Structure 1
């Protein structure tokens, strides 16, 4: 079961967050200040931390820095502060996402689930799509025990598409994720790599297809 730390000195807010997350099946460990939160982190294996900024003994910014230094878990910062400078400081010390009070509980749940999904994909070296296994360490595509080593960019492209099966990625999004923000080449390089991937997968029982969404981009669809 996913275990989530909820650190907030406001008991009402803390219980509200815990209540909605528990309804989603998560196990919640509560802490009423930064020091207690750190003790809980040392005592339990946490999968995610929800951290309030303004807490006694150790504020959320310090706690976030310490978590980031020792633990590879997502952090959602929850605060009454909405100013851009406070958000910037939060991201600078290592928070993954930022939620301003008062917040919609459904939005909070959605953000928690998105962070958990993102970290599991990022932390995983292996991804399964249909009948295909992608091994990030080896840049290897294994289809029903038949192995093929892919060029780096082709592998990363398929890994990104497959990690969020069914989601449409624009060419611009794929360029930014794989080639970087400073890439100065033509976006059509994505089309070239997609074509090569399709050729490699042609007539093989991959269990997925790469679908072109006209005018938008590409997505992976599982067929088995």
Structure 2
């Protein structure tokens, strides 16, 4: 299953150590996560939660105006997002208390970057694996479940071939997908001879997803190689 859409989940990191906040943010960004905010206190974290609606939180136990446990309990009054606790080495009581409150997992500091990514990834997959992604592009969105593009408040239906082509591009978002690969995605195991048809479909897709189809910024041609789908934007 493709979990690329999980990279757009909103992540809140709460810790009073600026260096740790910067390190965790960097680890997540380097792995492709796009939506990350940080907080250094309980009050700041609650404010971010209410205004920004994160979809997962990483909470340190020790905070200057309280602790991660009290923050967790206050958050549960208005959100059921998954929570990963950070605890100091050897603080077994903290681990047990966090899990007893209903937290999803805990990590002991210091930790390896791969461990953080693994645990965050497992939690996100467990909570959001049933979702069909709505993919944000620059100026439009693709709703794969409804097979349509939303642009400027209007809805543009996708044909089966357009859906197949966009699906192949999305599964390889940010990377070049060759003409042969796209033809195979749309026409099966014998894709030869469909290059002109593919170009026509690409043109129609751009008319639906691009604000200015003559100057595409989301579906890019890589001359001599193929096409690339660029995610993100407003």
TM-score (norm 1): 0.52
What is the rounded CA distance, in whole Å, between the counterparts of 1:82 and 1:106 in structure 2?
21
Change in CA separation of 1:16 and 1:120 when aligned onto 2, cut-off 3 Å = same
1:7 has 2:6 as partner:
no
Give how far 1:59 is off: 1.0
Give how far 1:81 is off: 4.3
Counterpart secondary structure, 1:82: coil
Partner of 2:32: 25
Greater RCO between the two (CA within 8 Å, min separation 6)? Answer: 2
Once the two structures are superposed, the pairs formed by residues 84-99 of structure 1 within 5 Å of their partners are: 84-99=92-107
Change in CA separation of 1:49 and 1:125 when aligned onto 2, cut-off 3 Å = closer
The number of aligned residues is: 125
Unmatched segments (≥5 aa) in structure 1: 127-224
- Whether the 8 Å CA contact 2:55–2:82 is kept in 1: the answer is yes
- Whether the 8 Å CA contact 1:74–1:96 is kept in 2: the answer is yes
Counterpart secondary structure, 2:47: helix
- Whether the 8 Å CA contact 2:84–2:105 is kept in 1: the answer is yes
Partner of 1:199: none
Partner of 2:180: none
What is the rounded CA distance, in whole Å, between the counterparts of 1:119 and 1:50 in structure 2?
15
4+ long deviations beyond 3 Å: none
Q: CA RMSD in A?
A: 1.9
What is the rounded CA distance, in whole Å, between the counterparts of 2:112 and 2:86 in structure 1?
12
- Whether the 8 Å CA contact 1:6–1:30 is kept in 2: the answer is yes
Once the two structures are superposed, the pairs formed by residues 57-96 of structure 1 within 5 Å of their partners are: 57-96=65-104
Counterpart secondary structure, 2:32: coil
